[in-house]
Each structure stands twice: as C-alpha cells, then as structure tokens.
Amino acid sequence: MGKKRIAILGSTGSIGTQALDVIAAHPEAFEVEVLAAGNNADLLIKQSIRHQPNAVVIRNEDHYKLVRDALVDHPVKVYCGADAMNQVIGFDSVDLVLTAMVGFSGLRPTIEAIRAGKHIALANKETLVVAGELIMKEAREKKVNIIPVDSEHSAIFQCLTGEPPYSVEKLILTASGGPFRGWKEDAMANVTPEAALNHPNWCMGPKITIDSATLMNKGLEVIEARWLFGCRPDQIEVVVHPQSIIHSMVQFIDGSIKAQMGLPDMRHPIQYAFTHPARLNSDFKRLNFTDFPQLNFELPDTKIFRNLALSYEALGKGGNWPCILNAANEVAVDAFLEKRIGFMDIPDLIERTLGRSFFIKNPNLDDYFETDLEARRVAHELIK
C-alpha cells in the first residue's frame, strides 16, 4: 500500500483527533496533508506544529490571525473561511478526505471533495441523511469510493465485502441504548445534559453523545445505511446491544449472519477506512471473549425514544423530510445542552418542526440548503 496523504475536515473533534493518532502510529503509511477546523484555533495550532501539514484552514475567520501568526515559522500554508476549506481539499496532493465535521456543515465540503475526485472516509453521517441520493449519484459519476467511518456502517461494510448485493436480506444496526436504556418516561423528564453526556461505552463529541442518548444517532444511521448500501428501509433493523461488542451485522438470504466485532474504539473503523482494502497491524486492545461471557440484545423502545420512530417516518416519506429532521434535531440538541428545553422536549420539537415545514418530493442541492435554513428558523421559533 502506497503512502496516503490525508485531509482531515474537523481535525479538532473526537474523530479528527483519533484519526491523527492513527496516522501518527503509521508514519510509513499515512501523511497529514490538510487539517481543517471550525473554531478550536489553539488545538489546530498544536496539531499543525506536530504533524506539519501542507495546509491548514480555520473556518472561523476571526481566528485567522492567531493561527497564521502561531505558524509563521513553520512550512504550513494557512487559510480561513468555508470557501478556502472547499478549495484546499481539491489539491492534487490529497489522496483521501476524512469528513469529520459535525452536522449539516459537512455537506458542502463532502460534495466539493467528491467533485474533485477525492475518495472519502465518511464520518459525517448527516451528509447522507440530508442528501444521500444526490451524494451517492455524484460519487458514482466521479468513481469516488465512500468508505464509512461510523463503527456500525464500517461493520456492515466489512461484512458485505465479497458478497453479491442480491444475497443481502437484512442489515442489523446495533445500538448501545445509551445511558438511559430501560428508563421510564417519568424519570426521563428530569434528565440533565450532564447525565446525557455520560455515555456508558463510547467517548464521543457532545452532539453525537446526546444523539446516542435520544437514539436519534441510530435513526440517522438508518437513513445513512439506506443510501450507503442501496437497501430498502424495511431491510434495516435496529437492535439494542448494551455491551457494544458486535458493531453491526448482515443477514443473508440463506439465513446466515455475519457480525463484525471488537472492543468499542473508534480508531478501528478510522484505520480501516484509511487502509481499505488492505489492513495494517495495530496495538489496539484485543477483544477477550471471556471478559464478555454474555452478550445481550433487545428491541429499542420507540415509545420512549421517539426519535428513532421519527427517523423511520422521515426516511419513508423521503424528499427533503430527512433534511428537516436533521436540522430540527441540531437545533434541539443545542437548546438542550444550553438548558433551554428538556430532554423529552427534543422529539416534540422535531415532530412539530416537521409538521410546519414544506415538503419537496425531489429536492436539488439548493433545495437542501434552503430547507435546512427554513427548518432551523421554524425550530427556533417553536422554542420561543
């Protein structure tokens, strides 16, 4: 495997920092070509000094001077703004783009990377949630590989390797159940942001951690899987598996099931996305089955965790409905973290936003951006 030069969009987030750990562990295989971040200028500076990329981008232009001055004695080009981020990923020197930005903000850079012919390691599930059909069409036209980084989709991707599409009967996405698995509705009314951020198995950023607690993360993954693997919504099942050892499974038409397993560590799917179709040695902790003598499975409670049901409804309706769902959820999560709404208000806000939004059956790219803005406006208005 030749040395891959990687652009990391969202380098200061949870996925971005772990990706840099993977790269640092394999200097013979990977090289950091571009680092891009939104607001965390201090960490971006530290990463740039350590990894010496060709270019860095700070999306928030207010931090440009700070980053530029800190790197003036280093051979690193410094840019700022969203347009610059879209441009640097098109550099000829970039082999692979890791899209690890949070939320809707990852859509435009992912599209620009695909249009530049760059292979994608996709950690921004919202890109496919919002515009999955469009994204996959562009990728096919440009002959661009999209390799999933989400642990669940990476697991399915690995299970499907070498299998003909007609042989797939069902995709089974596993969910940890989050910190409130088994709780009753009256107890959920008093959930605090601090409690919701305390995930039992995974160390993630705040937005995805709240999404995991509400099961919205699993709902978004269902929508992502529909486009990534070209299956029908009724072929995607969610099973709660609290140990997070089986990351997901594929059931085939002969009744057999493949499962991808391992300890919960995001560096596994990150490294696989970087090396696919090859594999590299790692010093990651190995799974010892005797440490897990029992693996449990149960159905998700969609009456308590209504975000999962809302996600299936949005996927079934199609059009711009998943885009509305995503925008309303991002607003709701921010409001919950700021203690402006309660935990159980999150699905209520999403459902009410869907009910007050315009449906577009066959949206184009501009429609998605307009839908996102309008849904956010409606959601903010409903909070007031």
Residues 204 and 123 sit within 8 Å (Cβ to Cβ): no
One domain for residues 176 and 130? no
Q: How confident is the model at residue 100, as a pLDDT?
A: 92
Q: How confident is the model at residue 325, as a pLDDT?
A: 97
Kindly state whether residue 274 falls inside one of the protein's structural domains.
no
Q: How confident is the model at residue 255, as a pLDDT?
A: 97
One domain for residues 89 and 160? no
Paired tokens of 324: 């509305």
pLDDT digits (tens, 9 = 90+) for 37-73: 999 999 999 999 999 999 999 999 999 999 999 999 9
One domain for residues 100 and 216? no
Kindly state whether residue 164 falls inside one of the protein's structural domains.
yes
Between the alpha carbon of residue 290 and those of residues 246, 296, 371, the distances in Å are 15, 15, 50
Can you tell me the mean pLDDT for 208-226?
Answer: 94
pLDDT digits (tens, 9 = 90+) for 11-24: 999 999 999 999 99
- CATH number of residue 97's parent domain: 3.40.50.720
pLDDT digits (tens, 9 = 90+) for 311-333: 999 999 999 999 999 999 999 99
Please say if the pLDDT value at position 1 is more than 70: no
- Give the pairing of strands 246-252 and 257-261: antiparallel
pLDDT digits (tens, 9 = 90+) for 280-310: 999 999 999 999 999 999 999 999 999 999 9
Residues 52 and 32 sit within 8 Å (Cβ to Cβ): yes
One domain for residues 167 and 309? yes
Q: How confident is the model at residue 2, as a pLDDT?
A: 74
One domain for residues 307 and 235? yes
Please say if the pLDDT value at position 91 is more than 80: yes
One domain for residues 144 and 195? no
Kindly state whether residue 238 falls inside one of the protein's structural domains.
yes
One domain for residues 168 and 32? no
One domain for residues 213 and 308? yes
Of 148, 182, 201, which residue is a domain's last?
Answer: 148
Of 148, 171, 194, which residue is a domain's last?
Answer: 148
Kindly state whether residue 277 falls inside one of the protein's structural domains.
no
Of 90, 123, 148, which residue is a domain's last?
Answer: 148
Q: How confident is the model at residue 102, as a pLDDT?
A: 81
One domain for residues 208 and 129? no
One domain for residues 216 and 91? no
- pTM, two decimals, is 0.93
Domain around 96: 4-148
One domain for residues 51 and 142? yes
Please say if the pLDDT value at position 198 is more than 90: no
Can you tell me the mean pLDDT for 255-275?
Answer: 96
Kindly state whether residue 40 falls inside one of the protein's structural domains.
yes
Number of domains in the chain: 2
Give the list of residues 6+ apart from residue 230 with CB closer than 8 angstroms, or none. 136, 165
Whether the ω angle into residue 277 lies within 30 degrees of 0, i.e. cis, is yes
Residues 55 and 93 sit within 8 Å (Cβ to Cβ): no
Query: In the chain, what percentage of residues exceed pLDDT 90?
Result: 84
Question: Model confidence at 179, in pLDDT bands (50, 70, 90)?
Answer: confident
Kindly state whether residue 330 falls inside one of the protein's structural domains.
no
- Give the pairing of strands 246-252 and 55-58: unpaired
One domain for residues 43 and 67? yes
Kindly state whether residue 287 falls inside one of the protein's structural domains.
no
Question: Model confidence at 159, in pLDDT bands (50, 70, 90)?
Answer: very high
Kindly state whether residue 351 falls inside one of the protein's structural domains.
no
Residues 15 and 37 sit within 8 Å (Cβ to Cβ): no
Query: In the chain, what percentage of residues exceed pLDDT 70?
Result: 99
